[in-house]
Amino acid sequence: MHVARPRTSRGFTLVELLIVVVILGILAAIAIPQFANSTRDAQVTSLQTNLNVLRSSVENYKFQHASRYPGYPAGGGSPDPAVFVAQLTQASKSDGSTAALGTTGFDFGPYLKEALPVNPVNGLSTVKLLDDSTAFPTAADGATGWIFKPLTGKLRANSIGTTASGTAYFDF
């Protein structure tokens, strides 16, 4: 004679699965904001680093070019963003004229390897140069990555927004 044994269920009940889903949802609700803050903190750190690199490059240029900041064309004229980028990324003479790296007589630079660093907040690497008579803005407009006034050497991130502590990116 064959004795019937009770069947043991090997799966999970619907209630047990729902409890697990609820617990995972709670954990996700706690963890996701932490990841968002980490991303924002990394963005702020990257912005500060890129600003320091750009400011150091500008100061090194000034040191080697008779205390004149980059952006002014050789021979005079108004500040020009293309001239600013060329003076930081190519070889230059003391008068600010530029040429390809290795060109005879162009003994200074480059101060940046390839191009201007990207502003990680707005994703732009362009620069707005202010004329000598233009006042420095009091707030960012976000249209370019950076704002620079060659007359004074003042350089800011052209980023709208603030850090988690309330400091405007523009004020770095």
pLDDT tens-digit map of 102-126? 999 999 999 998 899 999 999 999 9
pLDDT for position 13 = 82
Which pLDDT belongs to residue 72?
Answer: 96
Sequential pLDDT tens for the chain (172 residues): 566 666 666 777 888 888 888 888 888 777 776 666 667 778 899 999 999 999 999 999 999 999 999 999 998 899 999 999 999 999 999 999 999 999 999 999 999 988 999 999 999 999 999 999 999 999 999 999 999 999 999 999 999 999 888 999 999 9
Instruction: Write 58-65 long-range contacts (CB < 8 A, 24+).
Output: 58/88, 58/111, 58/148, 58/153, 58/155, 59/153, 60/111, 61/87, 61/88, 61/92, 61/108, 61/109, 61/111, 62/153, 64/94, 64/108, 64/109, 65/92, 65/94, 65/95, 65/96, 65/108
Residue spans per domain, the chain: 20-171
